[in-house]
A and B are shown apart, each in its own frame.
Chain A
Amino acid sequence: SQQGEEDPQALSIQEGENATMNCSYKTSINNLQWYRQNSGRGLVHLILIRSNEREKHSGRLRVTLDTSKKSSSLLITASRAADTASYFCATDLGDNDMRFGAGTRLTVKP
Chain B
Amino acid sequence: DTEVTQTPKHLVMGMTNKKSLKCEQHMGHRAMYWYKQKAKKPPELMFVYSYEKLSINESVPSRFSPECPNSSLLNLHLHALQPEDSALYLCASSQDPLNRPTNKRDTQYFGPGTRLTVL
Q: For the complex, give the distance between the alpha carbons of A95 and B30 in Å.
A: 13
Evaluate contact between B103 and A42: CB separation under 8 angstroms. no
Is B94 an interface residue, CB under 8 A from the partner? yes
Residues 32-52 of chain B, each 1 if its beta carbon lies under 8 Å from chain A, else 0:
010000001111110010100
Interface residue count on the B side (C-beta < 8 Å): 32
Evaluate contact between B45 and A42: CB separation under 8 angstroms. no
Is A27 an interface residue, CB under 8 A from the partner? no
Is B66 an interface residue, CB under 8 A from the partner? no
Q: Which of B78-101 contact A (CB under 8 A)?
A: 88, 90, 92, 94, 97
Is B20 an interface residue, CB under 8 A from the partner? no
Evaluate contact between A96 and B42: CB separation under 8 angstroms. no
Evaluate contact between B108 and A45: CB separation under 8 angstroms. yes
Q: Which of A81-110 contact B (CB under 8 A)?
A: 88, 90, 92, 94-103, 105
Q: A1: shortest Cβ distance to chain B, in Å?
A: 8
Q: For the complex, give the distance between the alpha carbons of A41 and B102 in Å.
A: 29
Chain A residues proximal to chain B, CB less than 8 Å:
1-2, 30-31, 33, 35, 40-45, 48, 50-52, 88, 90, 92, 94-103, 105
